[in-house]
């Protein structure tokens, strides 16, 4: 039963179009930055898949993939050893690339 609600959460998050990755954002252009409320909604929906960052730019050693929520580029993950990984300020951290993909995040282009 819990697995079904989790699966529904996955489907709801991944069903959001790339131009409007945050629930409630129905515009195709992203002239406004993500509001704290929308970012909070996404974080609440994916909290079972990730953990909070340790500080502004650091994820725990057991969850080093950084998830960043943005209006302009969508929900993106960054793996260690990629360009500018150290500079990324994660909103959530994941154990591996499969987990953040299930949570609706994608690799940067």
Are 50 and 99 in contact, with CB atoms under 8 Å apart? yes
Instruction: Check whether 105 has a pLDDT greater than 90.
Output: yes
Are 67 and 103 in contact, with CB atoms under 8 Å apart? yes
Instruction: Check whether 15 has a pLDDT greater than 70.
Output: no
Q: Tell me, yes or no, if the pTM score tops 0.75.
A: no
DSSP state of 18: T
DSSP state of 59: -
How far is Cα 74 from Cα 69, in angstroms, rounded to an integer? 6
pLDDT of residue 25: 36
In the chain, where the domains are located? 2-102
pLDDT digits (tens, 9 = 90+) for 39-63: 888 888 888 999 999 999 999 999 9
More confident residue, 37 or 41: 41
pLDDT of residue 72: 87
Of the candidates 48, 46, 45, 59, the residue with the CA atom closest to the CA atom of residue 89: 59
């Amino acid at each position: 039963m819990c697995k079904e609600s989790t699966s529904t959460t996955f489907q709801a998050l991944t069903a959001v179009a790339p131009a409007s990755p945050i629930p409630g954002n129905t515009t195709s252009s992203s002239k406004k930055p993500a509001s704290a409320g929308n970012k909070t909604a996404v974080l609440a929906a994916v909290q079972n898949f990730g953990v909070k960052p340790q500080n502004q730019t650091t994820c725990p050693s057991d969850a080093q993939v950084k998830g960043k929520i943005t209006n302009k580029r969508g929900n993106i993950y960054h793996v260690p050893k990629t360009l500018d990984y150290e500079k990324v300020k994660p909103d959530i951290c994941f154990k591996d690339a499969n987990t953040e993909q299930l949570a609706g995040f994608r690799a940067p282009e």
